[in-house]
Structures are given as C-alpha cells and as structure tokens.
Structure 1
C-alpha cells in the first residue's frame, strides 16, 4: 500500500501561496474573498506545523524567508499545474476553442488584420484573443498560445522564434511632403518626434534609437508623448510628426502608403517575437494548426512538429 503523502492543509497552503505571490496578507485576503486575519491565521498554522517562520513581518510589508521562498516556488508550480490540467480537462468537450494572448500593438496592427484568413481555413475553431500589454502566465490554464516580444527566455512556457524586428522612423505622406528632406538620424531632431510610454526594457524609444547613430536626443523635442504605441502610430498617420515604426507592426501601413519611411537608417532589435506554448505535454489540436499558420507567415524556418 502507498503511504499517504504528507501535505500541509490545502486551505493554509492556498493562503500562503497567495500571500507569497502578492507579497501582502491583505491582497491575498482580497483575492481569496476572506479577511486579512483569516489569511494570517492560516499561515501561522503552517508555521506552527513546520516549526519555522515562512515570512519576515516588517512594519509595512512582509518578506519570504529562505524556506518560505522554497515553499512558494513549489506551491506556485503545483497550483499552475493543477490549473492547467483542469483547463485541459474542461476543454475536452470544446477542443475547437483556442485562446490567444498578444500585446495591444501586435494584435491591432498584425494579428487582427490577418486572423480572418486563419478562420476561413479552419472555420470549426472558435477564437478568443486576449489583448493586453501585461504579460499573463501561460501556465495558468486560461491560455493556449501567447505571442510575446522579448529574448525568448520565459520560465512559464516553451518559446519558439517567430519574427525578427527592426525599427526606423516613419511619418504620413503629407508630413513628408511638407518637411525638408530627411535622410540621416541627426536631421530628425529638428522635427516633432512622437513617443509613447512603455515599461518594457526591450522596447526601443527615440533616445535609444538615436544613440545607435551617435546622436543625442534633445532634452525637449517638438513632438509629444502618447500612452500607447497604437496612439503614437495614429498620431503619425494624422501628420502630427515622426514616430518609430516597427517593421512588423507598420508593414501594412507602409504597403498601403499610409505611412512612409523618412530615412533608410534602421536599428535591428536584439529581441524578437516568439510564440509561446504551455509546458504541459498535451496541447489542443487547434493550437498546432494556429502555430503552423503563424509559421507560414514568418520568413524563418518552419517549426518541427
């Protein structure tokens, strides 16, 4: 006979995992729908059972102890695995549903204009596209496929290279006609430069782009700053100035002559677009069909099955 696994109480472990992940008893209580005192009590029971502290209680925050960090990593992985398995089981009766995660810019400028082609090829697949710039954990069980820009080194999934990228300045044809000839990066600093706010360190802004050509960005530019990249591109489309065009994202707009390049200068990014799959061994058939379609749109070698 197999001995019963020696596991701590699931209620206490759930409270601990949430508090460790959120670094707050209060936030864990909000997520679990209980009181802060209840979360604190469950964690205290765990610590009594183990005989050592899991958290260091500071004045306004908590920090995991070394043993707490070990348990947090194990609990997080276990809960992600359970969530993924449950989602997979529930999907067994809905195998033709596919949930895709992508950033706002990628979804808006590349995926949505093309996704109807995939739907025509596979009309039996119901698509759900989750669009957000915050990177969701693909092992949560809520996603089948994610498309991300970065180094490809993510702990929560299997990454496969999809598209490489380069960045160059673009503007509307009308703005280009009214401006003096722009050929080199140092000419750009006298024009309105459209920028956007971003927290992603992999994203290239005007300061980084100009620095690649040994040009210092002016402290005050004639342009303005937007909240999102999509807004920056629409500002450029409306003749507001010059924005940085990411080849994959503005390719359609260039082909339609709604945007034009103002310089041959370009910066090839160190990062690229990757398609991400959960680490679970079984994936919906629809995910494989979507990956094959994505790869058919890429100029990179096809991915092995």
Structure 2
C-alpha cells in the first residue's frame, strides 16, 4: 500500500494537462486557474519524487514516467466514471436529477415547478445548482439546462432558445434624473459592453457602480431599485409581470444561448421524457437563431 495516495483532484488535473499538452487548456476544461493546475502537478511530482512533464514555454510534454502515469490515470478515471454511472440502479424510484445555474433555478425554474408537480406528482426531483457547467460523464445527472453548455460525450445537446437582453430598472428609479441613476454591472453577456457593441442607445449607464458575478444577484439588485441593469428577457419575465422592472428602451440585443444536455442513459426514462416535454412547453416560443 502507498503511504501517500495522490489526490483525485491532482490526478484529474494531470490527466487533462497531459492529454491537452497545456496547463492553460487543462485549467479551462476543469474551470480552474492555471496556477491551481500548476500547483496540483507540482504537488504530484513532489509526492512521486520525479518530474512528469518537460516544460517548454507554454507547452508541456510528458516524461517517460508521465507517459506511464497517464495510461494508469486514464484507465482509473474511465473505471471510476463507469462505476459511478452504475450506481443509478440504486437510486430512489422516480428520481429525476436536474442541473442548472442558480440564476435560472431561482428566477425561472423554481417559480414554475408547482406546475410540473401538478402534472407529475410522482416525480422525486432533485435540483442541483452549480456556477459552472457539469461534467455529465462523471456526475450522476439526468439533464442539465443552462446557458453555458457545449456538446459532451454520451449526451444529446439541444439548443432551446437564444435569449435577448434589454436595459431595465425598478419603476421607482424612473423619477430619478438619468445622470443620477446608479449602474449595475454583470459579467459575460450581462456586461454593458454587449449593449454598446450591438448598437444599444445610451440609457445613462456609467462605468462605475455595483458589480455582480452572478446574473441572479444582478437581477435581484435591479428589482430592489439599486440601479439600472442589462437583464435577461427570459429570467426577468416574472419580475416584469410583478411590476418590479421597467424597460428603459424598446431595443433588444443578443443574449445567452439556453440549451440542455440529456445523458444517453436517461434519454428513454419516461419521467425524464416528461420533464423535457414540460420544459419545452413552458419556455417561450422564441425561435432559436
């Protein structure tokens, strides 16, 4: 028996870096920083008391020891993924595991789950939220519904709709002079640069203000009257219906692409099929483009 077993996290980082030939690309795939990958591999090399990579600028190649360890690691990860998937047989009857982002869960999915439960009272639904897209091969999930999904092995990837963005604020801010309205900033599509690049008019947005990394928090802040924000048409549906948001312009610009990943092992499950049909019926009839 080994005195000190390498951590699974370090082995996953090593496998990705070895397969991709780059610490940077491995970090992107695993949603980590490059320094985190480098630290994991340095720790692994220290533990094994030998180098695993030849480092040449930004590219890396394996040493003989690294080649040997890569073969072992990939076989172990494949075996582990297969074993985790086999655990599906022990799940509770009628269990449905759905992954999505916190923003989509809070602002769109959860407010509509009562309707799904009325139609399918037998469903034992587990809603698993995460900031980053899941690895469907290593996590026990039936379906992921998000705006950051790409195709993955053993899954069906389907684009559901292309969202649109518009500037909005709480109605109470409409009486405040435009120059005095605070600006709320988000990341990725919710950044004001998207509005400007796509030709949106000036609605008084400024470079300073409050900043949010999570779209759901940005929408919450706008609904509470903290400032003007660029919001998702899909996620802001309920807030507008409740009178918490007022558009500042009639124009709309391109937003995130919402899609699902449906695991092949779950594709024929009647409950999963029912959830997919319900989801398609509940989403707006906006054509993908």
Cα-Cα RMSD: 4.1
Structure 2 contact 169–247 (Cα < 8 Å) conserved: yes
Structure 1 contact 20–64 (Cα < 8 Å) conserved: no
Structure 2 stretches lacking a partner, 5+ long:
18-22, 24-36
Any idea what SS the aligned residue of 1:99 has? strand
- TM-superposed CA distance for 1:169, in Å, is 0.4
- Residue of structure 2 in register with 1:20 after alignment: 15
Residues 1:276 and 2:274 are matched in the alignment: no
Q: Distance in 2 between matches of 1:277 and 1:84?
A: 17
Q: Distance in 2 between matches of 1:300 and 1:285?
A: 24
- Out of 71, 96, 107, the residue aligned to residue 98 of structure 1 is 96
Deviations 1:242-276 (A, max 9, x none): 1111010001111111111110111023x421121
Change (3 A) 1:281 1:301: farther
Q: Distance in 1 between matches of 2:134 and 2:177?
A: 42
Structure exhibiting the larger radius of gyration computed from Cα positions? 1
Deviations 1:266-297 (A, max 9, x none): 1023x421121123476533211111110111
Any idea what SS the aligned residue of 1:176 has? helix
- Higher mean Cα deviation, 17-26 or 78-87? 17-26
Structure-2-length-normalised TM-score: 0.72
Aligned residue pairs total 258
Q: Distance in 1 between matches of 2:12 and 2:96?
A: 29
- Residue of structure 2 in register with 1:212 after alignment: 198
Any idea what SS the aligned residue of 2:147 has? strand
Residues 1:195 and 2:185 are matched in the alignment: yes
Residues 1:86 and 2:71 are matched in the alignment: no
Q: Distance in 2 between matches of 1:258 and 1:217?
A: 18
Structure 1 contact 103–132 (Cα < 8 Å) conserved: yes
- TM-superposed CA distance for 1:220, in Å, is 5.7
- Residue of structure 2 in register with 1:289 after alignment: 274
Any idea what SS the aligned residue of 1:272 has? strand
Residues 1:56 and 2:63 are matched in the alignment: no
- TM-superposed CA distance for 1:19, in Å, is 3.4
- Residue of structure 2 in register with 1:298 after alignment: 283
- Residue of structure 2 in register with 1:249 after alignment: 235
Structure 1 stretches lacking a partner, 5+ long:
1-10, 45-52, 181-188
Structure 1 contact 194–223 (Cα < 8 Å) conserved: yes
Change (3 A) 1:25 1:179: closer
Structure-1-length-normalised TM-score: 0.69
Structure 2 contact 55–61 (Cα < 8 Å) conserved: no
Q: Distance in 2 between matches of 1:135 and 1:238?
A: 28
Q: Distance in 2 between matches of 1:301 and 1:213?
A: 22
Deviations 1:185-214 (A, max 9, x none): xxxx87422012x3xx5x241012112117
Change (3 A) 1:136 1:223: same
Q: Distance in 1 between matches of 2:213 and 2:184?
A: 11
Structure 2 contact 205–228 (Cα < 8 Å) conserved: no
Structure 2 contact 101–131 (Cα < 8 Å) conserved: yes
Where do 1:33-44 residues align within 5 Å?
37=47, 40=48
Q: Distance in 2 between matches of 1:98 and 1:29?
A: 40
- Residue of structure 1 in register with 2:20 after alignment: none
Any idea what SS the aligned residue of 2:220 has? helix
- Out of 129, 151, 155, the residue aligned to residue 154 of structure 1 is 151
